[in-house]
Chains A and B, each alone.
Chain A
């Protein structure tokens, strides 16, 4: 007996008892639909989160070049020994644009910001119990290079960005993030205005476009920033900058870029006074992946249990079917069916039941993805082709696994005993 005949027979037997077949399939339908929805929604959620990460700038590598020897300068202050390696590092990064988009110091500058009657020292803010911020936080002021905006996905909306010359010439200029601009100038155009930073005048040359808008911006201070050329440190004070952010090009491995930078710094930094440390900054992604993994595991476990129960349901009904059709099995054996033909017949019937259940489950799961995606993340999620194919394959496999015991039981019946059954 060939497979085609067995499939035909199985189809007849399934169609012959529509109501029961439907009930039998229910477990598989629910299980597959649940798995489909969970897997797709989780991957949709992950994609959404990654989108937010890349809004802040992904592909980052943290570079630390530090001294562990300190010397006294002419004013009697303790300062790190050895020279500042950043200009060399900056030049190196610029020389390999095929790997690196930009490099910038990211050093917090502890300065007081004043414009007219507004003084950041007098800003007041608080969080309510929901975690929403009220009032105004003082802006974060950073010493940066002209490549900070490139590294952090900032685009200029008014005026101009920081330039290399601003750094070289110690220009007293700054660029504002959208929230900082609003805090000091409300709706007015800040470009050309002068801020007092620790009493020194800095001209606002540009304003960045907001990176996060709408409800996502609630409580976020990502755009509440003021960027200064890092050479302004000479005027405003602060320790030598030892921590830098490098942004790798899209599609380039951050690990590879980190290796290159390490190699460069090894030949540069004097081991007698300092050392360097380079690490691809994928902590966020890692912890995100870990979290997603946990949630997927728990939800997947629940779905797997429902599939297991569905499979046992299939086995149960197939056993009943075998008992009911004992006489039929006897007749088939009497007219020449081999054991293997009987096994094939019942296995295929179970696999088809599960397969059909799987297809219905996939349809419901697809609908589930659509609804859940729209309700939870305001995005339309469809299951991927691999998830769909996997679900179908798994449901057929389920039928084969749970159908095998009843099928083997059916084939073990002695023809004469089977014929005697009523």
Chain B
């Protein structure tokens, strides 16, 4: 079986050829297998967010091949890429990225709507996801009426509602205090124990240390890639 994720010599260059050209990713190669918990750590500007955008099929690399489950994403149409983002990957963002005009339930239902699931099943699935993050009692609220930690839990519920095999989290604790941040981390660890592949982007070495594998980026290049002992398994 092909590796889950395989990056081969990926470049993402802004303003290529200009004097001001920026190499956000500068020849990155990386392989991630199913069930891994990978932290991608680096300073701001190291290219880690670009890495997540490429991995999440949100951005197209300038050069290089990205094989997702053996499929070259370059060959995929918008429809197929949308399907991958919808079914294969759950995103968790630093700024939660909830739609403010929708209620908690509607936000969590959104990826299921794009899957074309009927209203009854959708409701059950969204409620199940919200139940897992402990928010099943607040489904009618708008995101603005909730704390940051609660909003991030809604975002997590949205990410796991479709039961994707991969979770990508971009600084999920960045906007939270340490206690709620810790809760989010524990939740990701729980998902990983259940078999979900987790890719965690962070600038925080402490958080990176809790991952089973740590990939360090500096100036768009991988400078370190090591397996780590963790206490939560």
Interface residues of A (CB under 8 A from B): 1-2, 5, 12-13, 16, 327-328, 330-341, 414-416, 419
Q: How near does chain A come to B19, taking the closest CB pair, in angstroms?
A: 23
Interfacial residues, chain B to chain A (CB-CB below 8 A):
53, 56, 58-59, 78-79, 82-83, 85-87, 91, 93, 97-99, 101-102, 110-111, 113-116, 158, 162
Query: Is A328 a contact partner of B56 (Cβ separation < 8 A)?
Result: no
Chain A residue contacts of B101, Cβ below 8 A = 12-13, 16, 328
Known: A1-B113, A1-B116, A5-B113. A338 touches B99 (CB 8 A): no
- Interface pairs (28), CB distance under 8 Å: A2-B116, A12-B102, A331-B98, A332-B114, A334-B56, A334-B58, A334-B85, A334-B91, A335-B110, A335-B114, A336-B82, A336-B83, A336-B85, A336-B114, A336-B162, A337-B86, A338-B78, A338-B79, A338-B82, A338-B83, A339-B79, A339-B82, A340-B79, A414-B59, A416-B53, A419-B58, A419-B93, A419-B97
Contact B82 A416, beta carbon cutoff 8 Å: no
Chain B residues within an 8 Å CB radius of A328: 99, 101
Cβ–Cβ contact A331 & B99, under 8 A: yes
B86 contact from A335, A340, A419, Cβ within 8 A? A335
B115 & A336 in contact (Cβ 8 Å cutoff): yes
Query: What's the least CB distance linking A387 to chain B, in Å?
Result: 37
List 20 extra interface pairs beyond A2-B116, A5-B113, A336-B115, CB under 8 A: A1-B116, A12-B102, A327-B97, A332-B99, A332-B110, A334-B56, A334-B85, A334-B97, A335-B91, A336-B114, A336-B162, A337-B86, A338-B79, A338-B83, A414-B59, A415-B59, A416-B58, A419-B58, A419-B93, A419-B97
Set of chain B residues within 8 Å of A331, measured between Cβ atoms = 97-99
B97 and A336 contacting across the interface, CB-CB below 8 Å: no
B-chain residues with CB within 8 Å of residue A330 when the two chains form the complex = 97
Interface centre among A1, A332, A336, A338 (most CB of B within 10 A): A336
Nearest-Cβ distance from residue A352 to partner chain B, whole angstroms: 16
> Which B residues touch A12, using CB under 8 A?
101-102
- Report how many A-B pairs have Cβ atoms within 8 Å: 68
A335 contacts B78, C-beta separation under 8 Å? no
Listed residue (A1, A331, A333, A337) with the most chain B CB atoms within 10 angstroms of its CB: A331
Alpha-carbon distance A1/B83, docked complex (angstroms) = 12
Chain A positions within 8 Å of B158 at CB level: 335
Q: A416 near B59 (CB under 8 angstroms)?
A: yes
Complex CA distance for A335 and B89, rounded to whole angstroms: 8
Smallest CB–CB gap between A366 and chain B, Å? 34
Report Cα–Cα, A414/B57, bound state, in Å. 11
Q: Looking at A5, A337, A416, which has the most chain B CB atoms within 10 Å of its CB?
A: A416
| SS class, residues of chain A in contact with chain B | helix
Chain A's nearest CB lies how many Å from the CB of B218?
22
Cα distance, A307 to B162, chains bound together (Å)? 45
Task: List the A side residues contacting B91 at CB < 8 Å.
Answer: 334-335
Interface pair B58/A336, CB less than 8 Å apart? no
- Distance A341 CA – B81 CA, assembled complex (angstroms): 13
Q: A331-B97, A331-B99, A414-B59 are in contact. Are A337 and B53 (CB under 8 A)?
A: no
Task: Report chain B residues within 8 Å CB of A337.
Answer: 82, 86, 114
Q: How far is the CB of A181 from chain B (nearest CB, A)?
A: 79
Which residues from chain B contact A336 at a C-beta distance below 8 Å? Answer: 82-83, 85-87, 111, 114-115, 162
Greatest chain B CB density within 10 A among A334, A335, A415, A416 is at A335
Complex Cα spacing A340 to B81, Å = 13
Q: How far is the CB of B174 from chain A (nearest CB, A)?
A: 15
Q: Please give, as numbers and ranges, the residues of chain B lying within 8 Å of A414 by CB-CB distance.
A: 58-59
Residues of B within 8 A of A1 (CB): 113-114, 116
Closest CB in chain B relative to A11 CB, distance in Å: 12
Please indicate the chain A residues that have their CB under 8 angstroms from the CB of B78 in the complex: 338-339
B85 → A minimal CB distance (Å):
5
The distance from the CB of A421 to the nearest CB of chain B, in whole angstroms, is 11
Who on chain A is nearest to B101 by CB? A16
| Complex A-B, nearest 4 residue pairs according to Cβ-Cβ distance, in ascending order | A336-B86, A338-B82, A416-B59, A336-B114
Q: How far is the CA of A334 from the CA of B102 in the complex (A)?
A: 16
Q: Which residue of B lies closest to A6 (CB)?
A: B113
Contact B114 A338 (CB under 8 A): yes
Set of chain A residues within 8 Å of B56, measured between Cβ atoms: 334
The smallest beta-carbon distance between B84 and chain A, in angstroms, is 8
Q: Which chain A residues lie closer than 8 Å to B99 at the CB level?
A: 328, 331-332
B59 vs chain A, min Cβ distance (A): 4
Smallest CB gap from B85: residue in A? A336
Cα distance A317–B93 in the bound complex, in angstroms: 30
Taking the nearest CB of chain B, how far is it from the CB of A318, in angstroms?
Answer: 16
CA distance A28 to B176 in the complex (A): 47
Residue of A nearest to B99 (CB): A328
Q: How far is the CB of B173 from chain A (nearest CB, A)?
A: 19
Among B58, B87, B91, B158: residue with most chain A CB under 10 A? B58
Contacts of B102 in A (CB 8 A): 12
Q: Which residues of B contact A5 (CB under 8 A)?
A: 113
Bound-state Cα–Cα, A183 to B99, Å: 86
> Residue on B with the closest CB to A332?
B110
Chain B, Cβ-Cβ closest to A415:
B58
Identify the interface centre among A332, A339, A415: most chain B CB within 10 Å of its CB. Answer: A415
Question: Closest CB of chain B to A330's CB: distance in Å?
Answer: 8
Determine whether the beta carbon of A341 is less than 8 Å from that of B59.
no
- Cα–Cα distance between A334 and B115 once the two chains are bound (Å): 13
Chain B residues closer than 8 Å to A335, beta-carbon distance = 85-86, 91, 110-111, 114, 158
Give the docked Cα–Cα distance between A416 and B93 (Å): 12
- Nearest-CB distance from B166 to chain A (Å)? 13
**How far apart sit A1 and B82, CA to CA, in the bound complex (Å)?**
12
Among residues of A, the one whose C-beta sits closest to the C-beta of B80 is A338
Bound-state Cα–Cα, A335 to B129, Å: 15
Per the bound structure, the CA–CA distance linking A190 and B58 in Å amounts to 100
Chain A residues closer than 8 Å to B115, beta-carbon distance: 336
